[in-house]
Amino acid sequence: MNSTPPGPAVEVVGLRKAYGEKVAVADVGFTVEHGEVFGILGPNGAGKTTTVEAVAGMRVGDAGRIRVHGLDPWTERDALTRVLSIQLQESRLQAKITAQEAFELWSALYDDPVPWREVAERLGLTEHLGRRFGALSGGQQQRLSIALALVARPRVVVLDELSTGLDPRARRDVWQVVRDLRAGGTTVLLVTHSMEEAQSLCDRVAIIDRGRIRALDTPEGLIRAAGEATTMTFVPSTPIDLDAVRDLPGVTEVRAEGGLVVVTGAEDAAVTVVTDLVARGVVPTRLNVTAGSLDSAYLDLTAAPDQVETPA
């Protein structure tokens, strides 16, 4: 068991899903390789949860085709549960069930569960095992929902807003859990609003907006495509000709802010600028170089909220 089937871990082709007049997913397609951490980013209402819940067999699309380890989640739901787990959405557990009872119940559902106490420990839940779900804090409920998804020893795990509402330590712990999953060969589909999370955890990221994929690449690729990836600031030891800096290869913008010179450009422009300055006998003091982030790529590729797509 648990052998890796041929083909990708997850394949989504031409997914479409409308709720009445509202088109939640207009046309989404992507492929996730085995062992990949694949991020899905996008504004509120973009269709992210609809997409991953369709992958998990919880919603059936109006059109399109999905395969998870070769299984059709819309018609082979039972077989799918042996391969894929999805983090429970809030309030899917009864308020009166204790964390321990939930772990025991979940473990009983699977043939080869991970020893649940290990999972509870990794997610900082050991001391809360006797507490009822309804009495756990939002962050503890969130961690329990992630932990329960892992008990099944899934080959593919879907985490929807993994770290929303978690304190910084808990967030660090769940990030480590994702890295461990990846190291163990588990495929992760990660819906997130955090650029930092996407940049630090994901091999590739799809940016979804208004039901369509607007970009799909590695975080670095998206940043590069957004341009102006790197910003450098410095105070020149003697006055400099800003136009000469602007003409250097890779530089897209140069401006002076008080005594500070701000240069934006391609990743290697910083080295070019420093080399050029030094050749002219100018020392760039208080030098600061900041690599680009996913933020600019995301903002370029997504529209303001509330712009709705009418049904085709």
Ligand X SMILES: Nc1ncnc2c1ncn2[C@@H]1O[C@H](COP(=O)(O)OP(=O)(O)OP(=O)(O)O)[C@@H](O)[C@H]1O
Chain residues binding ligand X by CB under 6 A are 19, 22, 24, 42, 44-50
Residue closer to ligand X (CB basis): 18 or 144: 18
Minimum CB separation of residue 196 from ligand X in Å reads 17
Distance, in Å, from the CA atom of 41 to the CA atom of 205, rounded to the nearest integer, reads: 7
Residue closer to ligand X (CB basis): 32 or 46: 46
Kind of pairing between the strands at 37-41 and 204-209: parallel
Minimum CB separation of residue 212 from ligand X in Å reads 12
Residue closer to ligand X (CB basis): 19 or 65: 19
Angstrom CA distances, 120 to 27, 135, 149, 287, stand at 38, 17, 11, 46
> What DSSP element (H or E) covers 16?
strand 10-19
Distance, in Å, from the CA atom of 22 to the CA atom of 73, rounded to the nearest integer, reads: 23
CB 276 within 8 A of CB 245: yes
Residue closer to ligand X (CB basis): 50 or 264: 50
Residue closer to ligand X (CB basis): 19 or 176: 19
Angstrom CA distances, 193 to 49, 207, 247, 268, 285, stand at 12, 11, 37, 29, 36
Minimum CB separation of residue 292 from ligand X in Å reads 24
Minimum CB separation of residue 50 from ligand X in Å reads 3
Residues in the chain: 312
Minimum CB separation of residue 160 from ligand X in Å reads 8
